[in-house]
Structure 1
């Protein structure tokens, strides 16, 4: 029986090939992602900067204080605790900026010369740096920059450029592939970095006879008092964990994004393959009915389809694994662009990943097979006695009713947002918007075939005049046999609408994030270091003041702190917060809603807090500053409304001068009353924005941080597109008799091929228009939830995503139709049927 059933496939090659192609595409995507996921589990972060020391004390913010360094250095197990500073230092040689291939960052890192032993580096030429204005360059960078001892170079740090003389060239005895280094004298490095006596890390060398585990235990006990509850600043690392402390190596811990992609791909693939197998069963309905009529039992039909699924899964995996191995590096390259993985990440091809790819592909095929079994068992043996076509029957009303109900539900949720029938905000509003998106996408996927049917009826007359033969026949096919196109239309509508609504919603949230970020800014300009460039120096802020004594230039920096309110019951303290160090009068550049005194008038032991911290005026706060073993006590004298520009706690920079925190370094400088543009050296990596430019920059940065979800939706859309084109091609392959009949009636080959192209156009174009309309609706509903947002609706519609996707779908549909029709007519003989 199984052999006889397999023989039926020879009469429906489109069904077999369509299902196989769909499964190969799904397995290739899963395999590529699984190779990358498996590589993350086996990847060891390379240790370069700290290869010469067995233990590193790193910091998650605030730096290593002199007290902590002295505590570790005084341990009996420790021979030496070497302080290390790491700060971006852009090198210019003869006016050009050398680039080192393979580096994680496009700039070198500056260090104090005493920390060179941590790598370890050794001089190959020249001498160590002893004074300001002297630098030692690592040998790799010196070779690329074509510079050596005695040359004059320029180094840009914290927004300023200084000339230096190359006094030495050093080479690392350990592997040195992903970072470049510049070494300065220790005092000069401290001045350049603005860190003062603080360090970024400690490299700890044990005394002779002390093992790594004993050293780690001793150092862990020593640093514990410097970690406040819930705020672990100092971290002890040994072995491969040392690589995580190197601030230029990105560590993909957990890599949850790829796991999410794997399971989303598997879920969508199961639906794709189920649709392809279901279509295959429907195309083979007559043969299955004959099998039932001659005595085949339901169990035999079930085993036949399951056996097909297993064989297809085996063949698909054999094809997909090599394709996945070729695709995996491209996936890694894309995630490297996102900053999710570093240049040190390498893809491995372990056999276990291949077995998991096969297992998941087999599971998808079996799930899809079980779904198609239900369709097969509904075929009655009596269907073998008739030749009545099933294609002309209309789609079930249940599908239309379900889709209309979902769209109506999305309409109700939209009305709640537009007319604010219910007062919602925050998380509740996000849930409402997410619900609208989900209902709209699902509803469109269900009702799309009916939209194609209606649009075909509307354009029938116009198309008949434009193309009396090919166009007329195509419209007739789409209208009369629209059930044939339902699978392709539903998949395509689901994918394109998902991309449009998800990307449009993300654009809305990016716009809203930027709007909220700048709504409190009163400054005319905002200065920031370029990406990854650390901070701006106090010298740069003072230059603005020197040009115009009436201008305001305010610098801010942030750091993590632990906060507790005295008198509050235990367990009710706020979580770890962000403290903002302010240099200048912040009220001149930010519009703050205040209670109490101005934050610009804070005295010693006084602090301003945000409303979200929950502290009242006059409250006493205990604040644990990073790197300190004791809490500092402050009195709340000002409370301001929450703003994206400030943390939960604001302190004047001079308040932490005694803690050796970098009080002369700024993450942003707000300027009012002067144009800082002429002050900026074009070689200095400093960005200057007007308020409007700052808005767009914040929006762009929000989009960069949230790229994963739009690209996940695009991946789903591409899989749906494959399923849709596959469904169209499967249907065309099984219409050989129809094409032969048209040729017998005198229709030319070119007219038959044009008819197939017209069908692709009438299938894809209405879906793209529908997706665009739903996207505009969803984005408008989201936008009106924010003041003034409705005016931005047009800019939130992702035309740059939908137009290429729609054009690609149309081109793929036409190209696939032409190839399939050409293949179907290849063996056709005029005059035979």
Structure 2
């Protein structure tokens, strides 16, 4: 039996190549995404392990208000430094100050970055300091700074240049040194401007008696845990001692459970899409080849082979194909990961990733998955082959049933109805989990109903081909209708790829439409001062106050970002003067009012979930550890600009030494010139790092541009999935041409020309591709509506992009047929008839 399998594989190399390519591409896709996740995790782990230098113990505020690994903590009493230095086992301890600090470029503008923009003190102990000097010297005077190389290059700054740092006050400084983070130009994309200790106390901490923390290095022979235990008794309440390893682990846990987890899920999902598409191509290949070997299987049965042996032959063949393709796919996945790393680096997604890291878990996932997918895809055809009766070897039999069973139609119809109902219910009730479950069920229903729909859809789609191309077009239509299961199998792979691309397109359009709708419904003014959404970015709150005095301005409200604990839970909050915000934004207040400057307001959704209303007292805790009870003064509906929590600026500023606005909304006086107001605001904002002065439309575009790089990579990966599907169509056609060799010879004998044969095969491919593309577009639009509506976004189908997808699907179908059509046209008449 094993020898027979190898003879079959070697005797049909074209079929073998098609099967191997489908599995290879799927495994390559999955392995590449897993390796990229491993590489990113290893890179982040390396950054965190170097972030604290050789710090053995860190003294810090024990209050946490953010789930982000870079979330700010409040300051602690600087007097702890002397007490810690006296602890037995402490070799050295240095105060550590860090806060917001935006380095300005040589032209006076803010240097943009996706990471935090921070400032602090230069640590004099090289073992505690994770940065090293690449050029120049350490700062000595309060107005001297060391800047990291990435931002020195982007800001066109050199040693000796004069610039400024916004803390948020504008501090003129001299660059005396350029640093590197280990071998990197920066810690990810974090901007770190290092003052002398005196300068950091004056401009960042803004007090000589408070520091962010103390970093401690242990004496020889003293372990981290032992040193932390010795330090703990000298600490004040609200302060804690954490080992260096614990800090690294803590940071990695937050990344693993936050950004990295989402990153892995997204990449894994697209790897799964590629494998699913490949599975349909594999299944179709084995289904065709099994049908072509119907008499062969029957002859084996007639010679005494049992059903199990026939299944075993097909299974072992699938195992050989899966093993060869999986091994090749593992190697290809490494190369694909390298390509993805280059794309992510080019689009500045995540952090810089040097080299590639392959975890054993990724191999243990990708290898079995590739094998299992191949075996499962081949299982159905293998079982059908085992059911061929021995007498079939003595007579001509149909290779495949020409009509799907009634059972398939009934089951598929029920599944489709249940799936559609689940998606609709999830959308109407804004239940994302229900809508997602319906989406998965919709794909299953589509697979089941595919052969049922193939005959009528092929007849409908092929009608124009029959009218326009005559006999070749008619034959192409009939060939597509002849084997509905085969047509459906080839089209389904493309349908899934196109469906996911369409779904993503609609979803992105919905997000943008939601933002446009939210801004249009909340803000009617023409100008926004945009400092970026980063918590450490932004500009001084003095800018909004000065803007309010411009003759063109009728109202302005600055808005800041922050984190705090609300009712015991960490929460991101917006910070503003509620009365000023109420004059420029329509937040659709449903309870209370925003007239008071000390009004604490929450969204209607949060109020409903927590059972709050106006007058409800809510306990909050700030980063400095201070606790306070705020009374809800207003409940509002529009959250696009105000978020879920709106904290009064006066309350917030009492617990921070660096108050910042990240944006300011400007309304003009009646008759004021928008162009004149923008010009006046641009001049006013220049000393504040020149934040962007944008129109409302520009502001909306800027909010979504951060996603553009990641979306471009995602589209690239989805296109690869579609390429796999098109290869499946090409493979199906190639096998179909082989199966119809005698038929093609007869067509040539009765007068069909080579161009007509090529045209017939090409149009058959176009019909299959249009079937898959149309089904994918319909599925993607429906699921895009359902999933988008489930999270409260309007339906935005993006007609231009959807049209492009449809055209590309049809063109790609024609391209997929080039090789099979050429091969069909080259068949010699006599040899084909004699087959």
| d(CA) in 2 for partners of 1:506, 1:141 | 32
Does the Cα contact within 8 Å between 1:513 and 1:702 map onto a contact in 2?
Answer: no
1:471 aligns with 473
Range moving further from structure 2, 89-98 or 736-745: 89-98
1:511 aligns with 513
2:177 to 153, 169, 177: 169
Does the Cα contact within 8 Å between 2:416 and 2:446 map onto a contact in 1?
Answer: yes
2:224 to 212, 219, 229: 212
Give CA-to-partner distance per residue, 1:339-390, whole Å, 9 cap, x none: 6641045313467755654333223333334333312212111211211433
| d(CA) in 2 for partners of 1:691, 1:195 | 36
| d(CA) in 2 for partners of 1:372, 1:392 | 13
Does the Cα contact within 8 Å between 2:465 and 2:474 map onto a contact in 1?
Answer: yes
The 3 A distance-change label for structure 1 pair 193 and 596 is farther
| d(CA) in 1 for partners of 2:363, 2:221 | 46
| d(CA) in 2 for partners of 1:784, 1:549 | 40
User: How far 1:137 moved relative to its partner?
Assistant: 4.3
1:601 aligns with 596
SS at match of 1:286: helix
SS at match of 1:309: helix
Is 1:539 the counterpart of 2:547? The answer is no
1:553 to 553, 556, 561: 556
1:83 to 96, 99, 102: 96
| d(CA) in 2 for partners of 1:327, 1:354 | 14
User: How far 1:296 moved relative to its partner?
Assistant: 0.8
| d(CA) in 2 for partners of 1:365, 1:708 | 27
1:288 aligns with 297
| d(CA) in 1 for partners of 2:590, 2:474 | 74
1:626 aligns with 623
Give CA-to-partner distance per residue, 1:547-592, whole Å, 9 cap, x none: 138632222223332344xxxxxxxxx6333443324622212224
| d(CA) in 2 for partners of 1:55, 1:88 | 25
SS at match of 1:591: coil
User: How far 1:224 moved relative to its partner?
Assistant: 9.8
5 Å-filtered alignment, 1:401-416, equals 401-409=410-418
User: How far 1:189 moved relative to its partner?
Assistant: 5.3
Unaligned ranges ≥5, structure 2: none
2:662 aligns with 667
| d(CA) in 1 for partners of 2:404, 2:594 | 68
| d(CA) in 1 for partners of 2:107, 2:564 | 43
Does the Cα contact within 8 Å between 2:617 and 2:630 map onto a contact in 1?
Answer: yes
Does the Cα contact within 8 Å between 2:102 and 2:111 map onto a contact in 1?
Answer: no
5 Å-filtered alignment, 1:387-786, equals 387-391=396-400, 393-409=402-418, 424-427=428-431, 430=432, 433-434=435-436, 437-438=439-440, 440-449=442-451, 451-458=453-460, 463-464=465-466, 466-505=468-507, 507-512=509-514, 514-516=516-518, 519-530=521-532, 532=534, 534-548=537-551, 551-564=554-567, 575-583=569-577, 585-594=580-589, 598-602=593-597, 607-611=600-604, 612=607, 613-628=610-625, 630-641=626-637, 643-662=639-658, 664-673=659-668, 677-678=678-679, 679-680=681-682, 684=689, 686-698=691-703, 717-776=722-781
User: How far 1:30 moved relative to its partner?
Assistant: 2.8
Does the Cα contact within 8 Å between 1:521 and 1:590 map onto a contact in 2?
Answer: yes
Does the Cα contact within 8 Å between 1:178 and 1:343 map onto a contact in 2?
Answer: no
Give CA-to-partner distance per residue, 1:641-672, whole Å, 9 cap, x none: 5634335554432334443443x311222222
2:130 to 103, 116, 119: 119
The 3 A distance-change label for structure 1 pair 512 and 618 is closer
Residue-pair matches, total: 796
Does the Cα contact within 8 Å between 2:560 and 2:661 map onto a contact in 1?
Answer: yes
| d(CA) in 1 for partners of 2:498, 2:158 | 57
Is 1:367 the counterpart of 2:376? The answer is yes
Does the Cα contact within 8 Å between 1:56 and 1:242 map onto a contact in 2?
Answer: no
| d(CA) in 2 for partners of 1:39, 1:432 | 34
Is 1:310 the counterpart of 2:319? The answer is yes
User: How far 1:328 moved relative to its partner?
Assistant: 1.2
The 3 A distance-change label for structure 1 pair 33 and 641 is closer
Does the Cα contact within 8 Å between 1:270 and 1:368 map onto a contact in 2?
Answer: yes
User: How far 1:205 moved relative to its partner?
Assistant: 3.9
User: How far 1:28 moved relative to its partner?
Assistant: 1.9
1:377 aligns with 386
User: How far 1:488 moved relative to its partner?
Assistant: 1.0
2:309 aligns with 300
SS at match of 1:601: coil
- RMSD across aligned positions (CA): 4.6
| d(CA) in 1 for partners of 2:627, 2:636 | 23
TM-score when normalising by structure 2: 0.80
User: How far 1:621 moved relative to its partner?
Assistant: 3.7
Does the Cα contact within 8 Å between 1:485 and 1:728 map onto a contact in 2?
Answer: no
Range moving further from structure 2, 711-720 or 801-810: 711-720
User: How far 1:287 moved relative to its partner?
Assistant: 0.7
| d(CA) in 2 for partners of 1:701, 1:137 | 25
5 Å-filtered alignment, 1:152-301, equals 152=162, 154-155=163-164, 157=166, 164-166=173-175, 168-171=176-179, 174-179=182-187, 181-185=192-196, 202-206=214-218, 210-217=222-229, 226=238, 236=242, 238-239=244-245, 241-242=247-248, 253-254=260-261, 256-257=264-265, 258-261=267-270, 266=275, 269-301=278-310
User: How far 1:290 moved relative to its partner?
Assistant: 0.9
2:329 aligns with 320
Give CA-to-partner distance per residue, 1:163-206, whole Å, 9 cap, x none: 6444x235569544434654345566577769778766653344
Does the Cα contact within 8 Å between 2:205 and 2:211 map onto a contact in 1?
Answer: no
2:809 to 806, 809, 814: 806
| d(CA) in 2 for partners of 1:273, 1:142 | 53
Does the Cα contact within 8 Å between 2:41 and 2:260 map onto a contact in 1?
Answer: no
SS at match of 2:768: helix
TM-score when normalising by structure 1: 0.80
2:53 aligns with 51
| d(CA) in 1 for partners of 2:631, 2:247 | 40
Give CA-to-partner distance per residue, 1:767-807, whole Å, 9 cap, x none: 32343345455556778899995xx6453784277247515
